[in-house]
Amino acid sequence: MTAVPLASGAHVASIGRDPRAAGPALGRSDDVAHAVARPVVDGLDSAVCGQLVTVTAAEDWGTSQAPTRCAECARIAG
């Protein structure tokens, strides 16, 4: 038998985060809100500023009414 390589243009899987995904999720550390790149699951994750935060996947950075936002996350995520 001869092995025949098969090339496909379809992207199957990726280890990194998808930059085309929806806007950042909302993470919290103490009383400060942080932006977290998606996809996320509920639990601990790293914010875009590098801070370790508690994330809830259902909360969005853009629509959050958090009174205090991380200045670095606001600069990076908008």
Q: Which residue has the higher pLDDT, 38 or 19?
A: 38
**By percentage, how much of the chain surpasses pLDDT 90?**
24
pLDDT for residue 10:
47
Question: Within 10 A of 45 (CB to CB), how many other CB atoms are there?
Answer: 18
pTM (predicted TM-score): 0.66
Name residue, tokens 């995904």: 21
| Residue ranges of domains in the chain | 25-77
Helix (H) or strand (E) holding 44: strand 43-46
On the question of pLDDT at 26 being above 70, the answer is: yes
> 37-55: per-residue pLDDT in tens?
988 889 999 999 999 999 9
